[in-house]
Amino acid sequence: MHRIRIVKGDLTRENVDAIVNAANSALRGGGGVDGAVHRAAGPGLLAECVERYPNGCATGQARITTGHDLPARHVIHTVGPVWQGGAAGEPGLLASCYRSVIAIAEEHGLTSLSFPAISCGIYGYPWPEAAKIALSEMARESHIEDLRIVLFSNDIHKVFTTVLEELQSD
Ligand code: AR6
């Protein structure tokens, strides 16, 4: 768990091997962090998504593209679950997002990876529950040297920091 860094800031400014995009299953852009990633990457990102992934991406899975105009070399797009109360498989699907992204990053030999808080915005996942899953899955990873989660606001940063402290003291 020592390698996980919780950062406050804008994911699109991260100078890493890959940033992770909290996308929707169409992989055609959207609001939230997805909109910010597409704006910062430029239109080439959408064109690559359309060409390489005509069928989009299922919830819990991930797909890689290049970073286009972003400082990051790649974008790994993943589709988090929409929160429906917790009994519709949301925890397993959210864990699967983190695992799928990390598996793709390892396949490509990437050593620095920055996540957003997947499903914690428009998709409505409760932050403490999402933080526990995100940080536990990130902690299982063994090959990526620089693993970050980049959070936009003080409020969510505080929640993730508290959950990381709790996990470290267990
Ligand atoms: N840097 C870091 N975090 C950000 C940024 C940014 N630039 N912008 C937003 N966030 P969301 P979701 C935070 O809604 O819940 C899109 O329309 C935000 O404050 O982006 O997985 C997609 O196309 C929140 O904490 O993703 C999907 O339809 C977190 O990123 C849908 O939203 C995730 O919020 C996905 O919803």
What are the pLDDT digits (tens) for 25-74? 999 999 999 999 999 999 999 999 999 999 999 999 999 999 999 999 99
- Residue 3 pLDDT exceeds 80: no
Query: pLDDT-derived band of residue 2, with 50, 70 and 90 as boundaries?
Result: low
Q: Provide the pLDDT confidence category of residue 170 given band limits of 50, 70 and 90.
A: confident
DSSP bridge pairs for 23? 79
Q: Per-domain residue ranges for the chain? A: 4-169
Distance between CA atoms of 135 and 58, rounded to whole angstroms?
22
**Closest ligand 1 atom to 123 CA:** 15
Query: 4-169 maps to which CATH number?
Result: 3.40.220.10
Which residues are near ligand 1 (CB < 6 Å)?
10-12, 22-24, 30-34, 36, 80, 116-123, 150, 152, 156
How far, in Å, CA of 4 to CA of 141, rounded? 10
pTM passes above 0.95: yes
The residue whose CA is least distant from atom 24 of ligand 1 is: 121
34, 69, 146, 155: which one is catalytic? 34
Which residues on adjacent β-strands are paired with residue 74?
A: 18, 66
User: Average pLDDT over the chain, rounded to whole?
Assistant: 96
What's the 3 CA to ligand 1 centre distance in angstroms?
24
